Amino acid sequence: MKLKFVNEAEKTKLITPFVTLFGTAIVSIVTFIRGFVFGEWIVIVFACVLIFLTFGFVLEKVIVHFMDVNMAEERRLEEEAAAKEAEEAAAAAALENGGEIPGADETDNDEDNEKS
């Protein structure tokens, strides 16, 4: 038996149908219990399907947008961390090999020149 993993994109596509089915089910049960005439009941349920379908679609798009923003922010932070680690590794390697960090003399000279 093979297991199929569901990624986040497939999960977010289920938001609209679940919101539509859940909302419409509640409205249809309540209107049926209250004793609406069948013609009115069908119209109310159909209108609720459209309303909840629209609401679910908007909710899905908002959630996907925030997920995209969050993923971009995570990627940016990972890139910054990787760049910082690379700089630290280069500085450590330079200290081991020559005792100086490349580019450190340039900044020291610039500061000395500005003070004079």
- Could you state, in order of their start, the residue ranges of all structural domains in the chain? 10-100
pLDDT at residue 64 tops 80: yes
Q: Residues 6 or more apart from 16 whose CB is under 8 A from it? A: 53, 56, 57, 59, 60
Global pTM value: 0.61
Per residue in 73-110, pLDDT tens? 889 999 999 889 888 888 888 787 776 555 555 555 55
Give the alpha-carbon dihedral of 24, 27, 32, 37, to 10 degrees: -90
